[in-house]
Amino acid sequence: MRLFVLTLVVALAGCGGASPRIKVSDAWARATAPGQTGGAIYATIVNDGGADELVGVSTGAGNAMLHSNESVDGVARMRMMAALPVPARSRVTLAPGAVHVMLGGLKAPLAAGSSFPATFTFAKSGARTVEVAVVAAGSR
Amino acid sequence: MLGKLRIVLWGLVLVAGAALAFLLTRPEQKLPAPTQTELPLAAIGGPFTLVGADGQPFGSTKLAGKPFAIFFGFTHCPDVCPTTLARLTRLRRELGKGDDSFAIVFVSVDPERDGPAEVGKYAELFDTPVIGLTGSQAQVDQVKKQYAVFSAKAPQPGGDYSVDHTASVFVMDRAGKFVSTIAPEESDSVALAKLRRVTG
């Protein structure tokens, strides 16, 4: 019995202990022009608990994919990311020119002043659905 | 005693000689392979003809007499292009010299998908004058060459494609001469200083 408890304690410690406490806030997107099929969602992820991972985003507005942006020798390259780590007790910002949720195949232009729901899925915490505020393209 | 000193001194000479030999023969540091055509900075720019949002030819003479900031991208670009254009419009506001202080020019490097209507609607998104330009593939290639701009299609899942492209803005003076670039990673204060130089 003592051995079992000891094993359990070790196993829990190995998991990193605390479960994540994830909150997604300030989700926003720039308005897009008619005919423009691509856009991006930006947001802030605050985690007051243990480590987690953002593994996907989905929205009815279009196809959503996690993208990183890297600049190599002054050339911007967008690349898909399978997952975005959200470390324990951290704030991860999806910001212009950096990691963002790329929207493809937009069904309709994103109009400034409107909003649409998007679901952020985390490996441990599950889904968080937030409203994405569409702002004028030049405002942010 | 003197003999010992002589040995030590000769030892030092050997060490210095070895160091010199190392400095002279060590391999040169490898520079990253250039991904864009190297052009002497002064040669960047020059006269061009593209197509405006109205479908009519747009000659660079239309920009004469006013500084301009020119950026190359594509309208399907979800992040870098709108971020850069939004930044330029914000910097122009912060400069406080009006929409006329310098022109913001957006050139599509994706003329296959971006016709005059597409670049026009894209430029209108920003609620402040932005000149959207496209052209034939040959016209766009020519301007890319003049500005040493790199771009290449990057296939995406589902048959779509993105475009990798030079992300810097080129700041040109009233005479259409190249003055500096603004890179995305540069701070706003550095960028503003560069814009002040041409609008002053």
Q: Provide the residue ranges of all domains of chain A, joining segments of one domain with +.
A: 19-135
Q: Where are the alpha helices (DSSP H) in B54-136?
A: 80-95, 116-124
- How many Å lie between the alpha carbon of B70 and the closest alpha carbon of chain A? 15
Does the pLDDT value for residue B19 go beyond 90? no
Highest mean pLDDT among A15-29, B1-15, B28-42: A15-29
* The pLDDT of residue A7: 53
* The pLDDT of residue B86: 94
- In 10 A of CB B26, how many CB atoms? 8
Provide the Cα torsion B21, B23, B25, B29; round to 10°.
Answer: 170
* The pLDDT of residue B6: 73
pLDDT band at B18 (very low <50, low <70, confident <90, very high): low
CATH fold label, B49-199 = Glutaredoxin (3.40.30)
Query: Shortest CB distance from B79 goes to which of A34, A35, A69?
Result: A69
CB-based contact, B164 to chain A, within 8 Å: yes
Q: Where are the alpha helices (DSSP H) in B34-169?
A: 80-95, 116-124, 137-146
Binning chain B into helix, strand and coil, the percentages to the nearest 5 are 40, 20, 40
Does the pLDDT value for residue A76 go beyond 90? no
Ramachandran assignment for B41, one of left (phi > 0), alpha (psi -120 to 50 degrees), beta (any other): alpha
Give tens-digit pLDDT for A59-69: 999 999 999 88
Does the pLDDT value for residue B28 go beyond 70? no
Which position has the higher pLDDT, A74 or B190? B190
CB-based contact, B124 to chain A, within 8 Å: yes
Q: Choosing among A37, A66, A75, A132, which should be mutated to test the B contact, i.e. which has the most B CBs within 10 A?
A: A75
Contacts of B85 in chain A (CB under 8 A): 137-138
* The pLDDT of residue B15: 65
* The pLDDT of residue B30: 47
The ipTM assigned to this model is: 0.80
Contacts of B160 in chain A (CB under 8 A): 37, 104-105
Give tens-digit pLDDT for B152-164: 998 887 778 889 9
Q: Following DSSP, what letter does each residue of B1-41 receive, concatenated? A: -HHHHHHHHHHHHHHHHHHHHHHHHSPPPPPPPP-S----G
- In chain A, % of residues over pLDDT 70: 88
Q: Tell me how far apart the alpha carbons of residues B61 and B82 are, in angstroms, rounded to a whole number.
A: 26
* The pLDDT of residue B34: 44
Contacts of B83 in chain A (CB under 8 A): 96-97
Q: Provide the residue ranges of all domains of chain B, joining segments of one domain with +.
A: 49-199
Mean pLDDT, residues B132-149 taken together: 97
Provide the Cα torsion B31, B33, B37, B39; round to 10°.
Answer: 0
Which position has the higher pLDDT, B151 or A11? B151
Mean pLDDT, residues B161-186 taken together: 93
Residue in chain B lying closest to A78 (CA): B164
Pairing of strands B103-108, B68-73: parallel
- How many Å lie between the alpha carbon of B137 and the closest alpha carbon of chain A? 20
Give tens-digit pLDDT for B57-94: 999 999 999 999 999 999 998 899 999 999 999 999 99
Contacts of B158 in chain A (CB under 8 A): 63, 104-105
CATH fold label, A19-135 = Immunoglobulin-like (2.60.40)
